[in-house]
A and B are shown apart, each in its own frame.
Chain A
């Protein structure tokens, strides 16, 4: 999988040949290496990790992999499409709640109601909008389609009106805040701040059983690999090229006769779907979904892993997300206060001084070996960045 290197983002300079067709240029060799990388990843996730890790650590890894799925989506929307979405928590939450609602109803049995509703809502019967979620045929597709529909609705409104850049980032952040307030306010039917907890079963399997927890892990690992394959496919398609073009110069793409709004919309919707799926799988892995997971802060934290790994690469976001989540667990066990400093420092150092993320270090190392042709594919040199400064100031 490591064969996929980013096209350089945002420069005002003329695009290098590598930007136009990274996939087709290297042809068969790249494909072979991708397949090899994929097999390696699968072996790692399916064979090495389950053998090497205790049940507890494997469950943690399952949680990290869910975060990594969100990161894949952010990599597409932000890294390739230039849309800094600070509201991915919303889609993560929609998917998570859809799944949790179904599992709660399944736990309660036919005709039953989730425990918290009687306690906090004093409802005598299930609210109308909960009912469809009793059926897995509705709930499962909804975990992906619901976030996609919301993203489509919001995206088609804002992209069409050319709301972009910082405006879009702040708006998506406000969306996360609004969603949290809305969820908490409807305590009787959503569980309020507690969220939906104490989920016992997953389609008939008892989640307390370590064997079933392992099964959930395998599903999550498999889905993550599938999402990566999908993302690679997308990035290397004509659409993928167009998306990068829109990121680098929306106006030029418009002049060429494309509609940048729909190009961005697709990436945004795909990212939302991935976040939704991640949320849905997070629920059986962790057994809880709550507003605390979808607000402004967790939404920004989704982004940090992507930035650390390398936003415009395929694998960078995944590795970055897992690494950051792991570091958080490992460090906060020892130095709780220090973690906050370190997290802040990560943001500052990586974004300000290493905008290509750790992946750009990799590219840098390869450039040494591979000579001048490869060097165009790294992050833009400082000189070129400065040239685009005036443009950014419009």
Chain B
């Protein structure tokens, strides 16, 4: 029984990691239809930011807290640069954004290799986050997993509120629902695109900081995660966040269960089959945004 609850929590925390990575994609892919394969390298940038900050800020806890906003800005700025230099020209060709950003991701990886070296680097986690808390019933829950879950949920909440209640959020939604109408109504669509991209990429940086608590920090750390994250957004349905949130946790629990009953390899295949089957049922994803533009 304890193991079962442990697995459930593992599933939820896998979901939280997926969600944190997919959240930025839900913005850039879901809202703007840009397939940014360099998203994984923005995650990497966030992780390396943590590493660099720890060279000057010695307190592990303090440096982690400082890293969160700094990584957000670093990754966001990289995103804006990418948008200005390349993606701006490619909005009409979503498939080509995939190939172009894949090329960018190759170059960023090599850049990381040249700057930080091929081997992984290490960061120190605050002692608080390497321990665990005991929950009644003999179950222990890892603190770093709790932290990531909290961070993911906070990011979702902040993003939802921002999209719903701020003028910027209103503009973003307007552009997503009907770009031309938004443009003629005076919404500066190009600037909105750029801001959206900043937010989406910044979230990747945030994910990068969180991932230093869980996994390796190296040039290829982003590539392993990116496909799963895209699948979350595809299955969740583009145009809104709640689909991605639900699907991230569902896939996390599905994978943890499958892995417990079989092996990690088989679980990955099960997840893929489940996704293809699901898309048979709802080809547009869990939730679809209904707009008045022609579809």
Point out residues on A near B: beta carbons under 8 Å. Answer: 10, 82, 84, 86, 154, 157-158, 161-163, 165-167, 169-171, 173-175, 177-178, 181-182, 184-185, 296, 300, 303-304, 307, 337, 340-341, 343-348, 351-353, 355, 385-386, 388-394
Residues of B within 8 A of A166 (CB): 29, 33, 35, 94-95, 98, 234
Q: Are A307 and B92 in contact (CB under 8 A)?
A: no
Could you tell me the distance between the alpha carbons of A268 and B268 in the complex, rounded to whole angstroms?
Answer: 25
Q: Are B102 and A340 in contact (CB under 8 A)?
A: no
Partner of B265, one of A154, A184, A304, A352: A184
> B92, B268, B294 — which one has the most chain A CB atoms within 10 A of its CB?
B92
Those of B222-238 within 8 Å (CB) of chain A? 227, 230-231, 234
Q: Are A344 and B106 in contact (CB under 8 A)?
A: yes
Q: Are A340 and B109 in contact (CB under 8 A)?
A: yes
Name the residue on A nearest B35 (C-beta).
A166
Could you tell me the distance between the alpha carbons of A352 and B109 in the complex, rounded to whole angstroms?
Answer: 20
Jot down 28 A-B pairs with beta carbons below 8 A, ordered by A: A157-B276, A158-B279, A162-B283, A163-B283, A166-B94, A166-B95, A167-B279, A167-B283, A169-B98, A170-B231, A170-B234, A171-B276, A174-B231, A177-B272, A182-B265, A296-B227, A337-B114, A341-B107, A344-B105, A344-B110, A348-B100, A352-B96, A353-B89, A385-B92, A388-B92, A389-B91, A389-B92, A393-B91
Residues of B within 8 A of A393 (CB): 33, 91, 179, 293
Residues of A within 8 A of B29 (CB): 166
Q: Are B106 and A185 in contact (CB under 8 A)?
A: no
Could you tell me the distance between the alpha carbons of A148 and B199 in the complex, rounded to whole angstroms?
Answer: 42
Residues of A within 8 A of B93 (CB): 10, 355, 385, 392
Residues of A within 8 A of B104 (CB): 344, 347-348
Q: Does B99 contact A (CB under 8 A)?
A: yes
Determine how close the nearest CB of chain B comes to the CB of A261; give it in whole angstroms. Answer: 12
Q: Are A165 and B94 in contact (CB under 8 A)?
A: yes
User: A86-B98, A352-B96 are known contacts; what are 10 more A-B pairs with Cβ within 8 Å?
Assistant: A158-B279, A169-B98, A175-B272, A181-B269, A185-B266, A337-B114, A344-B104, A344-B106, A347-B102, A391-B92
Name the residue on A nearest B291 (C-beta).
A394
Residues of A within 8 A of B168 (CB): none
Q: A185-B265, A348-B103 are in contact. Are A355 and B179 (CB under 8 A)?
A: no
A contact patch SS: helix
Q: Does B263 contact A (CB under 8 A)?
A: yes
Point out residues on B near A: beta carbons under 8 Å. Answer: 29, 33, 35, 86, 89-96, 98-100, 102-107, 109-110, 113-114, 179-180, 227, 230-231, 234, 263, 265-266, 268-269, 272, 275-276, 279-280, 283, 291, 293-295
Q: Are B227 and A173 in contact (CB under 8 A)?
A: yes
Determine how close the nearest CB of chain B comes to the CB of A287; give it in whole angstroms. Answer: 27
> B180, B230, B293 — which one has the most chain A CB atoms within 10 A of its CB?
B230
Q: Are B95 and A390 in contact (CB under 8 A)?
A: no
Q: Are A392 and B100 in contact (CB under 8 A)?
A: no
Name the residue on B nearest A161 (C-beta).
B283
Residues of B within 8 A of A385 (CB): 92-93
Residues of A within 8 A of B35 (CB): 166, 169-170
Name the residue on B nearest A177 (C-beta).
B227
Partner of A181, one of B105, B113, B231, B265: B265
Determine how close the nearest CB of chain B comes to the CB of A183; give it in whole angstroms. Answer: 10
Residues of A within 8 A of B234 (CB): 166-167, 170-171
Name the residue on B nearest A184 (C-beta).
B265
Residues of A within 8 A of B103 (CB): 343-348, 351
Residues of A within 8 A of B279 (CB): 158, 161, 163, 167, 171
Q: Are B94 and A392 in contact (CB under 8 A)?
A: yes
Could you tell me the distance between the alpha carbons of A303 and B100 in the complex, rounded to whole angstroms?
Answer: 12
Could you tell me the distance between the alpha carbons of A93 and B16 in the complex, rounded to whole angstroms?
Answer: 34
Residues of B within 8 A of A352 (CB): 86, 89-90, 96, 100
Determine how close the nearest CB of chain A comes to the CB of B287; give it in whole angstroms. Answer: 15
Could you tell me the distance between the alpha carbons of A82 and B94 in the complex, rounded to whole angstroms?
Answer: 12
Q: Are A351 and B99 in contact (CB under 8 A)?
A: yes
Q: Are A343 and B106 in contact (CB under 8 A)?
A: yes
> A82, A158, A165, A170 — which one has the most chain B CB atoms within 10 A of its CB?
A170
Could you tell me the distance between the alpha carbons of A393 and B291 in the complex, rounded to whole angstroms?
Answer: 12
Residues of B within 8 A of A10 (CB): 93
Q: Are B227 and A307 in contact (CB under 8 A)?
A: no
Name the residue on A nearest B275 (C-beta).
A174
Partner of A347, one of B100, B109, B179, B180: B100
Could you tell me the distance between the alpha carbons of A82 and B114 in the complex, rounded to whole angstroms?
Answer: 37
Residues of B within 8 A of A348 (CB): 86, 100, 103-104, 107
Could you tell me the distance between the alpha carbons of A346 and B268 in the complex, rounded to whole angstroms?
Answer: 32
Determine how close the nearest CB of chain A comes to the CB of B183; give it in whole angstroms. Answer: 9
Q: Are A394 and B294 in contact (CB under 8 A)?
A: yes
Q: Are A341 and B110 in contact (CB under 8 A)?
A: yes
Chain A to chain B: the 10 pairs with minimum beta-carbon distance, closest first = A347-B103, A344-B106, A344-B107, A185-B265, A161-B283, A348-B103, A340-B110, A178-B272, A344-B103, A389-B92
